[in-house]
């Protein structure tokens, strides 16, 4: 129910708008739902709003599942 | 039967059903109409007609004038017909700037000059303000069939290689971006005349069919081939030439690039032993640089188009269902 | 996050792991409509072993919009002087007297927006009309409507109102988890709803109902990882809510968005198509924002409306039947001529089965 796409923040336009891009495509989005946005942040955009920032460090649980999966795969 | 909806004009199943309904009212008088991009007439002539209502009238990569010529001459080209003559009808809204109209006409004339196509007949009407959306153009293109063997849906055969001439969905993605306020840095419509790309293929045997993937996109064309020729088609998602910006726009709006319109990209069905030659020929032309074999026709599952996904699974490709609408879900 | 380098190889590794951890046949409900579509589009169904049964759940906000709500939207759109602004998803949903698309064909003004805030711009540029924004979607989308309302109020916009059709996910999950007929072993939980609400609201699924849960993203690798995790939890007898989408889901969720929702909306019991009234599962405008409430501005009450005869969307949404088991599927109900929203919604189960698995009889399974 939630089509959302990662984008990189290219420009902070004002307190509730930013310009984000994926490759050669740029979009103006609302930033009302997020704090402390910086240029260069990778964000998740849904229906014209930034709903969260990407944080690779928080992916620990998926990483640990993968470690086990890869161990299992290489053990075969 | 009810009122016409935008879905009836968007090139998928609803459009096809409507066309069949309309065609059947003429069937008795003029013989069964073929559902091909252009009609082949006795004496080796080809003719086609197409209406252009693009909004906005100007877009990265072209304008309605360029589109109006390319759209029709491409419908000829994909049946191996060299475009020679053009008739054009303009329906303009009161208040349209005359200089603007001439800009579009110069674009159209430029394509004609490039191809050696002559404008031989035309008509212009001006409608009261509010009764037309600025400008509609209809073009009727005519030419000479030069394909040494017949090109058409019925020729598509099991074993044929399916080849696409370039990244799909560029025109549709550009128009959608303009409509929904997405800024593009580089992406342009692929709007271009296909005859220069296709002409060398008319001299080859074993080219079975070609189509330009306009409304409804590549997905719809493949479904029409599968159903019209009663063959199965299998394609590989990884093999389809893709443009990163088209993917980005599609992701944002929830579209599938398979169904986004192209205006200068063609798909071919050729006998498998001919595939390499066709590919080399296409790749040697600037607009065919990224041409690729994307799959094959098969005698398994006739009427169905299957796609091997990037993840390694299989799914069916159906015809575009109706109006393409952006989604948030 | 696994690098996508060789996707097919990675998917194979996950399938091997699934093979190892599938101790018995399991039924997994993937709640979110976007998961349903991703699963079909990626062909995952054709790759899963026999013992994994995937049920689609009611996470398609369009599909669960009650018939009465659709009718209210269509009636509003037909009112002279009203422009109904909506996400594209709702335009073709059939109501008792036609869809918004059909209303538009007869002259109603329907504006398709890709962001709620565009409704504000519309109100500014069409001053002599009333703009009504239809707010559909779950917790992922409701905050955008909340921003629209807050800004409309701060700018004192008079010709804008909101018809809130927003619904909440955890309450309906409780209903499904407690349904003995459904026999769900695990839930693939919606990644983007979780971005807003975090993982705590799902804890009851594991703690009270013993369901194995994974909050997953939407790429094929994410989804397959979620299914593997669920199988493993079941095999090892340790149901939990595992956050496999940490790259955008914090345990606490998006607190700012949650606070905004609390300011602008309040929960209410609303009707979900085919499921009925679910307690505290919808969002209505809070008293402070009641002047923007389209229900009161236009005197709209929602009566109980029966869905079209034979329509079994409700059973599909609740996972009781699969789309091919509905007698209308592929016959009188197709994407071109849909009877119910499950067929017209881009995320509806029926639409997905029809389009991606050839009306449920795909030669490749699924």
Is the pLDDT score of B30 beyond 90? no
B314 interaction partners in chain C (CB closer than 8 Å): 43, 46, 362, 364
The interface predicted TM-score of the complex, written ipTM, equals: 0.92
Query: How does the average pLDDT of chain C come out, rounded?
Result: 92
pLDDT at residue B24 in the model: 83
Band (B33; pLDDT cuts 50, 70, 90): low
Q: Do the beta carbons of residue C63 and residue C322 sit within 8 Å?
A: no
What's the full length of chain C, in residues? 366
Domain B38-145 has CATH 3.90.180.10: no
In a shared domain, residues C206 and C330: no
Q: What is the mean pLDDT of residues C129-136?
A: 97
C137 vs B254, B308, B329: nearest CB: B329
In this structure, are C157 and C265 located in the same domain? yes
Q: Is C147 helix (H, G, I), strand (E, B) or coil?
A: helix
Structure tokens at B126: 């001006």
Regarding whether C272 and C180 lie in a shared domain, the answer is no
Helix (H, G, I), strand (E, B) or coil at C326: coil
Q: CA-CA distance, C366 to C356, in Å (whole number)? A: 9
pLDDT at A1: 63
* CA–CA gap between residue C349 and residue C60 (Å, rounded): 9
> DSSP letter at C219?
S
- The answer on pLDDT for C317 being more than 90 is no
pLDDT above 70 covers what percent of chain B?
96
Residues B312, C268: Cα–Cα separation, whole Å: 44
H/E segment holding residue C216:
strand C212-216
Determine contact: C228 vs chain A, CB below 8 A.
yes
> Do C152 and C180 reside in the same domain of the chain?
no
Can you tell me the distance from the alpha carbon of B94 to that of C269, in angstroms, rounded to the nearest whole number? 53
Q: Assign B46 a pLDDT band (cuts: 50, 70, 90).
A: very high
- pLDDT greater at residue B9 or residue C353: C353
User: Which residues in chain C are contacts of B7 at CB distance < 8 A?
Assistant: 92, 101, 336
Q: Has residue C322 been placed in a domain? A: yes
Task: Give the pLDDT score at C119.
Answer: 97
The two tokens of residue B128 are 């009261």
Average pLDDT, chain B: 92
* Tokens encoding B119: 């404008």
Query: What integer pLDDT is reported at residue C2 of this predicted model?
Result: 46
Mean pLDDT of C215-240: 96
The burial of B302, by beta-carbon neighbours within 10 Å (0-12 exposed, 13-18 middle, 19 or more buried), is given as: middle
pLDDT at B2: 73
pLDDT digits over C246-260, tens only?
999 999 999 999 999
- Report d(CA C187, CA C253) in Å as an integer: 19
Give how far the C-alpha of residue B240 lies from the chain's centroid of Cα atoms, to the nearest Å.
17
| CATH number listed for the domain at residues A5-75 | 2.30.30.140
Q: Check whether residue C91 and residue C230 sit in a common domain.
A: no
Asked whether residue C54 falls in the same domain as residue C87, the answer is no
Q: Do domains B38-145 and B153-317 have the same CATH topology?
A: no
Average pLDDT over residues C72-76: 96
Q: Which of A25, A46, A50 to mutate to test the interface with B (most CBs of B within 10 A)?
A: A25
Task: Please tell me the predicted confidence (pLDDT) of residue C5.
Answer: 54
* Residue pair C350/C359 in contact by the 8 Å Cβ criterion: no
Q: Which residue of B has its CA nearest to C347?
A: B329
Rounded to whole angstroms, the Cα distance separating B249 from B22 reads 35
Query: Hunting for tokens 């304008």 — which residue is that?
Result: B63
Over residues C232-287, the pLDDT tens digits come to 999 999 999 999 999 999 999 999 999 999 999 999 999 998 788 999 999 999 99
Q: Low-confidence residues of chain A, pLDDT below 70? A: 1, 73-76
User: Which residue did the predictor score with more confidence, C360 or A54?
Assistant: A54
Going by C-alpha positions, the residue among A27, B6, B60, B1 that lies closest to residue C100 is B6
d(CA A5, CA B308): 23
Question: Is A51–C195 a contact, with Cβ atoms under 8 angstroms apart?
Answer: yes
Which residues on adjacent β-strands are paired with residue C333? C329
**B111-165 tens-digit pLDDT:** 999 999 999 999 999 999 988 889 999 999 999 999 999 999 999 999 999 999 9
- C43 and C150 housed in the same domain: no
CB C98 within 8 A of CB C346: no
Q: Is A57 exposed, middle or buried (0-12, 13-18, 19+ CB in 10 A)?
A: exposed
Do both C261 and C178 map to the same domain?
no
Token pair of B315 as six digits: 């799914």
Please state whether B150 falls in left (phi above 0), alpha (psi between -120 and 50) or beta: beta
Instruction: With cut-offs at 50, 70 and 90, classify the pLDDT of residue C337.
Output: confident
pLDDT tens digits, B188-217: 999 999 999 999 999 999 999 999 998 889
**What is the pLDDT at residue A3?**
83
Instruction: Name the residue facing B311 among C34, C44, C356 (closest C-beta).
Output: C44
Cα(C347)–Cα(C106) distance, integer angstroms: 27
At residue B195, the 3 state secondary structure works out as: helix
What confidence tier does B31 reach under pLDDT thresholds 50, 70, 90? low
Does the bond joining B56 to the residue before it have cis omega, within 30 degrees of 0?
A: yes
pLDDT in tens, C143-164: 999 999 999 999 999 999 999 9
DSSP string, B231-265: -EEEEEGGGS---HHHHHHHHHHT--GGGS--SS-
Extents of the domains making up chain A: 5-75
Give the pLDDT confidence score for residue B137 in this predicted structure.
97
A26/B244 touch (CB, cutoff 8 Å), yes or no? no
Mapping DSSP to helix (H, G, I), strand (E, B) and coil, where does residue B49 land? strand
pLDDT at B226 over 70: yes
Chain C contact present for A4, CB below 8 A: yes
Number of domains in chain C: 3
Chain B 34-63, residues with CB within 8 Å of chain C CB atoms:
none
Task: Answer yes or no: are the C-beta atoms of B191 and B62 closer than 8 Å.
Answer: yes
CATH (one of 3.40.50.720, 3.90.650.10, 3.40.50.11890, 3.40.109.10) for B153-317: 3.90.650.10
R_g of chain B, CA atoms, integer Å: 19
Nearest Cα neighbor of B116 from B83, B145, B87 is: B83
CA–CA dist B83, B99 (Å, integer): 28
Residue boundaries of the structural domains of chain B: 38-145, 153-317
Same domain, C47 and C156: no
Sign of dihedral through CA atoms B145, B147, B148, B149? negative
Could you report how far apart the first and last alpha carbons of chain B are, in Å?
30
Q: For residue C89, name the pLDDT band (cuts at 50, 70, 90).
A: confident
Cβ neighbour number for residue B233 with a 10 Å cutoff: 28
Is A73's Cβ below 8 Å from some Cβ in B? no
Of B69-73, C225-229, C361-365, the least confident: C361-365
CA distance readout (Å), C216 to B196, C134, C206: 49, 28, 16
Residues in Cβ contact with A11 at an 8 Å cutoff, skipping those fewer than 6 apart: A18, A19, A39
- B260 and B167 in contact (C-beta within 8 Å)? no
pLDDT reported for residue B213: 92
Q: Is residue C349 part of a domain?
A: yes
Residue B215 is predicted with a pLDDT of 82
Q: Report the gap between the CA of A27 and the closest CA in chain C (Å).
A: 12
Stretch 68-97 of chain C: residues touching chain B, C-beta under 8 Å: 87-89, 91-92
Q: Which residues contact B130 (CB under 8 A, 6 or more apart)?
A: B93
Q: What whole-number percentage of chain C has pLDDT above 90?
A: 71
| Mean pLDDT score, B44-55 | 93
Q: When comparing pLDDT for B193 and C363, which is higher?
A: B193
Residue from C130, C113, C80, C155 nearest C293 by CA: C130
- Cβ-count burial B176-198 (b if 16+ within 10 Å, e if not): bbbebebebeebebbbbbbbebb
Cβ–Cβ gap B327/C346 under 8 Å: yes
pLDDT of residue C343: 87
The mean pLDDT of B156-182, rounded to a whole number, is 95
Question: Going by DSSP bridges, is the β-strand pair B232-236/B305-308 parallel, antiparallel, or unpaired?
Answer: parallel
pLDDT category of residue C1 using cuts at 50, 70 and 90: very low
Query: Which structural domain, as residue segments, surrounds residue C275?
Result: 67-168+253-297
Determine the pLDDT at residue B99: 96
Bond prior to B270 in cis (omega within 30° of 0): no
Q: In this structure, are strands A42-46 and A5-14 parallel, antiparallel, or unpaired?
A: antiparallel
Helix (H) or strand (E) holding B48: strand B45-52
Q: Which two tokens stand for residue C85?
A: 């602004």
Q: Are strands B266-270 and B207-212 parallel, antiparallel or unpaired?
A: antiparallel
Query: Tens digits of per-residue pLDDT, B239-293?
Result: 999 999 999 999 888 889 999 999 999 999 999 999 999 999 999 999 999 999 9
Please indicate, yes or no, whether residues C93 and C144 belong to a single structural domain of this protein.
yes
Pairing of the two strands A25-30 and B182-184: antiparallel
Judged by CB atoms within 8 Å, which residues 171-190 of B form the interface with A?
177, 181-187
**C349 with C259, same domain?**
no
- Residue of C37 and B86 predicted with greater confidence: B86
CA-CA distance, C239 to C222, in Å (whole number)? Answer: 19
**With an 8 Å Cβ cutoff, are C248 and A3 in contact?**
no
Tell me which of A26-40, B69-83, C236-250, C307-321 is least confident. Answer: C307-321
C80 and C148, same domain (yes or no): yes
Instruction: Please check whether residue B269 is in contact with residue B297, taking contact to mean a CB–CB distance below 8 angstroms.
Output: yes
């Amino acid at each position: 129910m939630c089509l959302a796409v990662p984008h990189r923040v290219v420009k902070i336009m004002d307190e509730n708008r930013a310009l984000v891009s994926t490759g050669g495509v740029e979009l103006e989005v609302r930033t009302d739902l997020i704090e402390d946005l910086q240029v260069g942040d990778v964000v998740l955009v849904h229906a014209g709003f930034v709903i969260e920032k990407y944080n690779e460090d928080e992916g620990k649980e998926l990483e640990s599942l993968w470690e086990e999966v890869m161990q299992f795969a290489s053990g075969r | 039967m009810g009122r016409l909806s935008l879905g009836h004009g968007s090139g998928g199943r609803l459009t096809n059903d409507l066309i069949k309904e309309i065609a059947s009212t003429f069937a008795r008088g003029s013989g069964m109409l073929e559902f091909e991009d252009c009609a082949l007439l006795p004496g080796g002539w080809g003719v086609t007609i197409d209406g252009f209502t693009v909004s906005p009238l100007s877009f990265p990569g072209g304008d309605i004038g360029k589109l109006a010529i390319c759209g029709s001459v491409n419908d000829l080209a994909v049946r191996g017909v060299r475009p020679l003559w053009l008739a054009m009808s303009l329906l303009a809204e009161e208040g349209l700037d005359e200089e603007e109209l001439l800009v579009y006409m110069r674009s159209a004339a430029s394509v004609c000059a490039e191809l050696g196509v002559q404008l031989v007949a035309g008509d212009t009407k001006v409608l009261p303000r509010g009764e037309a959306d600025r400008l509609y153009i209809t073009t009727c293109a005519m030419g000479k069939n030069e394909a040494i063997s017949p090109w058409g849906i019925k020729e598509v055969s099991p074993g044929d290689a399916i080849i696409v001439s370039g990244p799909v969905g560029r025109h549709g993605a550009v128009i959608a971006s303009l409509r929904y306020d997405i800024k593009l840095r580089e992406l342009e419509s692929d709007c271009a005349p296909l005859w220069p790309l296709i002409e060398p293929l008319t001299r080859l045997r074993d080219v079975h069919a070609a189509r330009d993937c306009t409304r409804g996109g590549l997905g719809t064309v493949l479904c029409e081939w599968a159903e019209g020729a009663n063959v199965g088609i299998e394609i590989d998602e990884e093999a389809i030439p893709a443009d990163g910006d088209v993917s980005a726009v599609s992701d944002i709006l929830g579209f599938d690039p398979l169904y986004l319109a192209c205006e200068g990209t063609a798909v071919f069905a050729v006998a498998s032993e001919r595939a390499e030659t066709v590919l080399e020929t296409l790749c040697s032309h600037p607009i065919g640089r990224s041409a690729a074999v994307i799959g094959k026709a098969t005698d398994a599952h006739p009427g169905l188009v299957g796609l091997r996904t990037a993840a390694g699974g299989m799914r069916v490709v159906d015809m575009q269902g109706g109006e393409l609408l952006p989604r948030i879900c | 996050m696994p690098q996508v380098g060789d996707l097919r190889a990675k998917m194979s590794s996950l399938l091997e792991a699934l093979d190892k951890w599938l101790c018995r046949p399991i039924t997994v409900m993937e709640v979110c409509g976007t998961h349903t579509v991703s699963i079909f589009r990626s062909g995952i169904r054709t790759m899963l072993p026999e013992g994994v049964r995937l049920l689609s759940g009611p996470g398609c906000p369009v599909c669960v919009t009650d018939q009465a709500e659709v009718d209210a939207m269509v009636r509003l759109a037909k009112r002279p002087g009203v422009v109904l602004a909506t996400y594209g998803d709702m335009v073709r949903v059939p109501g008792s007297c036609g869809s918004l698309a059909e209303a538009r064909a007869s002259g109603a003004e329907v504006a398709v927006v890709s962001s709620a805030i565009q409704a504000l711009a519309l109100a500014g540029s069409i001053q002599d009309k009333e703009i009504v924004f239809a707010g559909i979607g779950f917790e992922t989308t409701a905050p955008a409507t909340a921003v629209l309302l807050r800004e409309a109020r701060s700018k004192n916009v008079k010709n804008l109102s909101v018809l809130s059709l927003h619904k909440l996910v955890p309450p309906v999950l409780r209903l499904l988890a407690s349904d003995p007929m459904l026999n769900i072993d695990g839930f693939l939980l919606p990644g983007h709803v979780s971005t807003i609400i975090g993982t705590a609201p799902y804890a009851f699924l594991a703690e009270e109902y013993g369901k194995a849960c994974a909050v997953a993203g939407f790429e094929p690798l994410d989804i397959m990882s979620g299914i593997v995790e669920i199988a493993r939890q079941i095999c090892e007898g340790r149901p939990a809510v595992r956050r496999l989408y940490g790259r955008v889901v914090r345990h606490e969720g998006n607190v700012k968005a949650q606070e905004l929702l609390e300011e602008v909306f309040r929960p209410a019991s609303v009707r979900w198509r085919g499921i009925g009234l679910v307690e505290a599962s919808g969002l209505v405008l809070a008293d402070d924002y009641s002047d923007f409430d389209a229900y009161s501005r236009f005197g709209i009450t929602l009566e109980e409306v029966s869905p079209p005869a034979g329509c079994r969307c409700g059973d599909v949404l609740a996972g009781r039947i699969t789309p091919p088991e509905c007698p209308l599927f592929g016959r009188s109900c197709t994407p071109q001529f849909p009877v119910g929203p499950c067929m017209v919604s881009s995320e509806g189960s029926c639409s997905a089965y029809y389009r991606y698995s050839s009306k449920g009889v795909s030669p490749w399974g699924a």
